Structure 1
């Protein structure tokens, strides 16, 4: 591990330590899945903490086999309150799905658990759109109405399915869905802003959600995703306390055409180099997580920094 990876691993270790000290057992599936992958990457996939966190995630499944918030939530403020056992698309594809996919790749998560997520995402409702397809926000029909397309959520489904497909998992119609998601998201992309709206054709989303969109589009619409990542990684957002998560998320982005180090080339990525300027920002975030849900914020930071420990 090089100096850069060590710097990120140190921050991951700090975030893990702070999470474990504050955890009261109610952090939720997102936090515990993030901790499972973070501990796997930092301490080893066979470490007792890694195993315990994965088992905690399994035990938090909804009756339908998915995961969500474990609390009532009106996703669109329209009065249709989702019950605590509602399964959410982003929880399947990113919050829980990506850590389980990493665990599967490492040989500690059974294939059936990841295939189950693939199958659930393929069965999620769709929001009607003019071109391509948009996967709905949750399993609830009320969250699949026209105009309820949440761009980062649907893009994230394409990303997860792409990653799952690369590991040999699949489902009938999966490649068509990835294609259609990419078409819809390219249509929604605002070229002048190098940005996506959050909902339908509404205001631009915040940097944290934008980073998830950019990360998701990078492998399925490369140049669009690359430009969005470059803007995020070269821009400070001092008025948005959650923006450090955007920078932390994107440091581990793989290299590619015009995405390797400009001075050293492969295996050093442009994104790893650009991440150096955000190390102090990440430390400050871990020391004092902003906003609500501090355990989830620490778990997110632990996960992203652990992923970044692999950069050269």
Structure 2
């Protein structure tokens, strides 16, 4: 472990401890899946914390085999309220999918759990777009209308499927979907802003969601993802209380051409170096998370635990 890794590990442990002190057992799949991976990275994937958190996620599975937020929700503020058992694409691909995939690779999550997510993502409805494909926000028909294309959600699907395929998972139409999402996100990318809109051709998305888009596109269209990450890691948004999550998420981004330390080179990444300046910001976020405190602590724990492996 390096000094940089130790610094992020300390923050991950602090976030885990805060979450555990506040947890009343009624959080959602996002929080518990994040905690499972965070604790797996910190204490080992056979630790009792990991087993308990994975069991909580399994118990929250929807009747259709997916995951969501287990409460009613009007996703687009259009008056159509989704039922509490609605499956959401981002919950499948990112909130549960990536922790499950990482857990599988560590021997803690059964293979069929990950394959089930792959299958469900490939079967998710699509939103009609001009070029490529866009995966719908949820399984509900009302969320599949033209114009309801949420860019970070589709990019995250391609990212998860890319990583799952590299780990040995597959499914009919997987490669075509990854390709088509990449095409669609390339078209939506705003070169002047180095940014993506949140939905359709609307306003630019907030830094937190932008960081998910950038992370997702990094292995799919490297130079676009790299420039988006660089902008995020070299700027701050003090008026946006969730923007620290963008920095925390991206510190663990792998290196690559133009993405190694400018001073030392490989194996120290540019992103790990740029992350050093955001350690005080992470401290403040963990000490005083914004609304939805438990989920924010779980996110911080997860991202910081991933960052603990940086050089």
Fold shared by both chains (TM-score > 0.5): yes
DSSP 3-state at the match of 1:196: coil
TM-superposition CA deviations, 1:176-223 (whole Å, max 9, x none) = 100000000000000000000001000000000000000000000111
Q: What's the offset of the Cα at 1:243?
A: 0.4
Does 2:5 align with 1:8?
no
1:303 aligns with 2:274: no
CA distance in 2, matches of 1:170, 1:269: 30
TM-score, L = length of structure 1: 0.99
How many Å apart are 1:232 and its aligned residue?
0.1
Matches within 5 A, 1:157-306: 157-290=157-290, 292-306=291-305
Q: Residues 48-197 of structure 1: matches in 2 within 5 Å?
A: 48-197=48-197
Instruction: Give the aligned length.
Output: 311
TM-score with structure 2 length normalisation? 0.99
Q: What is the rounded CA distance, in whole Å, between the counterparts of 2:88 and 2:292 in structure 1?
A: 18
C-alpha RMSD of the superposition: 0.5
Q: Residue 263 of structure 1: CA displacement?
A: 1.0
Deviation at 1:276, TM superposition (A): 0.2
The CA deviation string for residues 95-126 of structure 1, in whole angstroms up to 9 with x for no partner, is 01110011001011000000000000000000
Deviation for aligned residue 1:141: 1.0
- 3-state SS of 1:198 partner: coil
Kindly provide the CA deviation profile for residues 230-270 of structure 1, in whole angstroms up to 9, marking residues without a partner as x. Answer: 00000011111100000000000000110011111111000
3-state SS, counterpart of residue 77 of structure 1: coil
Cα separation, 1, equivalents of 2:172 and 2:268:
37
C-alpha distance in structure 2 between counterparts of 1:87 and 1:208, whole Å: 22
Structure 1 residues without counterparts, runs of 5 or longer: none
Alpha-carbon deviation of 1:77? 1.4
Offset, 1:80: 1.5
Q: Which runs of 4+ in 1 moved over 6 A?
A: none
User: Counterpart of 2:168 in 1: which secondary structure?
Assistant: coil
Give deviations 1:56-112, integer Å, cap 9, x for gaps: 100110001111010000111122210000000000000011100110010110000
Task: Output the CA distance in 2 between the equivalents of 1:256 and 1:203.
Answer: 30
SS in 2 for 1:96: helix
Query: Could you tell me which residue of structure 1 aligns to residue 31 of structure 2?
Result: 31
